[in-house]
A and B are shown apart, each in its own frame.
Chain A
């Protein structure tokens, strides 16, 4: 690798890369993101390589393991260029057929295409699939175009042009002004104006300053930062270098959680490549600007996603937050002015520089500009990452892109904003997605997790789940958060276990108020949100749990019983054999009965009971019907299976 010393050298080098590439050449792109790798993408890549070699086509066909395009539901995803044919749920057994049919004969294989469940129509290209069609993919679209391990791939799609532009034609003030003009707001949860944050640090007289990428994506059910780190690490790095230049920092840190090994690997490799090419180090592109980046792995603590806790962790200490009387952009890492932004915020920076703030502000609403990547998960047909313009309604995301709720179930709520967010009920589905709109509804934008829940999800249990999560993750430094959450967790656990008492809701309310008012950092201050929002919209469910000892969603294990309907049971013996605690009594031709004393409510019987019988039921709030008399349990001929 040669160091590129000037913007001209970079441009010449880029042109040489592009010239060497033939856009008409066949290229097989396979998603190598975490979701697809878990379903066998690694084997598929190996199978393609082997097949290409076997057929002597190495010169004619390229393969590429790319970043995540977002459609995790139907992975592994394979896209074949130049036609851009999109195959879904590919297995390594399909590889010889794809090579023979699509690569050699230029024919499309019908059975690997997307089928619209509503119309039965097939789609040959990404752009025709409804999941993609309704998105606005400014950031994530590059994931599938490049091999995330190759800096040349990034250069071929105009990578580091924004950096060259900034270093040659813009002053630090110009860059800050452009970001301010774009109204870019922090994608990590707070939604603070990025440009204003940068300006604060810039104007501080202190000489040493720092910039940080917050890649400690801890919200359960959110993985968009991971997809960007794994799929397009250079875009984040380019943003960070630009930020360093604008703020006047010469050192940058990437704080990435060790639970994401592939992200750590890819971003570390990207830093090394950028150093070799001269985008990091001394006198970058002959501008006189020096900048170095260090990758720091987080050791597993949710609270370290909080800016001050993260900085303490970077200093090599226990990641506990501190009060923010003085903001960290004035006194942050080692008490120096420090700009900390989330992965997605940094990834937006090169785009804004390249295309201009006016281009950026055409997307979104008055208060929230640009696009946002959400991870759409839970009880949803199309699980995956979706990038949409701010201002789109929740309904559009869940139904047009997400394809609605699977299995004919009814929508109940969507949880946004991670553990600090809240649940939004059906009547608010027309809500436009934006920082202020979501906060008004009692939830928040957060980092972009969107967990869809259907009628089988118990809202009290959801609140208990998040409060329990935060109890575990509370660092323990301040009392309201440490003790308050412990008490809330105890009361909510009791309610879901059928031990709720009158007055519990009032006690929870009081605790919630104390936490909001008196906690040291955002973790504690926003911790009651999951409880408060579920109470606001689903109070009846809380009351049913406390007063009737009933879980209306039939989800809380201690409030339900499993029961076999004698009218429907065909004595097929399947549940009887599968029951792990031998709690099912019966036999061949003898209707099965659940022994309630022995039953541990594991639900295996319900899972395995064949759909054509559907004899196993859950009951809550009412006693289990008494077993039918022994003589009636014997099935006559024709009744049994």
Chain B
């Protein structure tokens, strides 16, 4: 991510320290993770210590300090999905792509995350791949879906 774009985002929020989270969210959403250069730039422009930004980046779930895979897989672990067998779906996904929630595989193909509710409880258990929702899943279907991604 180039410094110019980061500056544009910071300027949009008038370089206010109170907008720190909003600035980081915009960088995260465009770049999919927060590179070191971005954190340093934000720290400099907002006059917030880097440790303060690290505190925020590790406290809130939306931020990632490492690059993400090409395909982002989210497994809903909301209560409705849980009672409908989300745990088994998660186990299957971990078996197929070989990583745990929060991790990205070595060839940057998949990133796996669990989320606490996607709000489509009628479709539970639910998995989201790159923003597309797949509902009413069985373990067999889950494995098949993942195999289609390159």
Contacts and interface: CB of A to CB of B under 8 A. Distances in A.
B60 A300 contact: yes
Interface stretch (A32-40, A110-118, A389-397, A623-631): A32-40
A289 interface: no
Contacts of A604: 138-140
A300 B123 contact: no
Contacts, number: 141
A299 B62 contact: yes
Contacts of B18: 314-316
B122 A75 contact: yes
A258 B19 CA distance: 15
A299 B61 contact: yes
Nearest to A299: B60
B61 A602 contact: no
A315 B120 CA distance: 31
A449 B79 contact: yes
Which among B56, B116, B123 has the highest number of chain A CB atoms within 10 Å? B116
Contacts of A490: none
B116 A302 contact: yes
Contacts of B143: 580
A603 B88 contact: yes
Contact of B21 (A223, A316, A457): A316
Interface stretch (A151-159, A373-381, A521-529, A632-640): A373-381
Nearest to B60: A299
Interface in B108-143: 115-124, 126, 133, 135, 138-140, 143
Nearest to B92: A602
Interface string B77-102: 11110111101100110010000000
Given A378-B83, A557-B87, A580-B92, A72 B120 contact: yes
Given A457-B83, A578-B140, A604-B139, A377 B121 contact: yes
Contacts of A516: none
Given A465-B79, A580-B92, A316 B20 contact: yes
B10 interface: no
Contact of B119 (A226, A319, A453): A226
A348 B143 CA distance: 45
A133 to B, nearest CB: 19
Contacts of A298: 60
* Chain B binding surface SS class: helix
Contacts of B135: 38-39
Contacts of A39: 123, 135
B59 A451 contact: no
B90 to A, nearest CB: 11
A378 B85 CA distance: 10
A313 B119 CA distance: 23
Given A221-B78, A379-B83, A580 B95 contact: yes
Contacts of A608: 140
A377 B124 contact: yes
A301 interface: yes
A383 interface: yes
B25 interface: yes
A415 B135 CA distance: 22
A38 B21 contact: no
B49 to A, nearest CB: 12
Given A315-B18, A378-B84, A607-B139, A383 B61 contact: no
Contacts of B84: 378-379
B75 interface: no
Nearest to B79: A221
A602 B88 contact: yes
B85 to A, nearest CB: 8
Nearest to A296: B22
A402 to B, nearest CB: 12
B121 A299 contact: no
Contacts of A260: 119
A496 B36 CA distance: 42
A469 interface: yes
A222 interface: yes
B6 interface: no
A140 to B, nearest CB: 15
Nearest to B141: A607
A73 interface: yes
Given A377-B124, A604-B140, A301 B59 contact: yes
B132 to A, nearest CB: 8
A465 B82 contact: yes
Nearest to B18: A316
Given A258-B25, A578-B140, A318 B122 contact: no
A35 B123 contact: yes
A598 interface: no
A300 B79 contact: no
9 contacts: A34-B118, A221-B79, A221-B80, A222-B117, A223-B119, A260-B119, A296-B21, A383-B80, A604-B138
Interface of A: 34-35, 37-39, 72-73, 75, 218-223, 226, 258-260, 296-302, 313-319, 375, 377-379, 383-384, 415, 449, 451, 453, 457, 462, 465-466, 469, 475, 557, 578, 580, 600, 602-604, 607-608
Q: Kindly list the 10 A-B residue pairs having the minimum CB-CB distance in the complex, ordered from nearest.
A: A300-B61, A299-B60, A220-B78, A72-B122, A223-B119, A377-B121, A377-B80, A38-B133, A383-B122, A221-B79
Given A296-B21, A300-B60, A316-B22, 4 more contacts: A223-B120, A259-B118, A299-B25, A602-B88
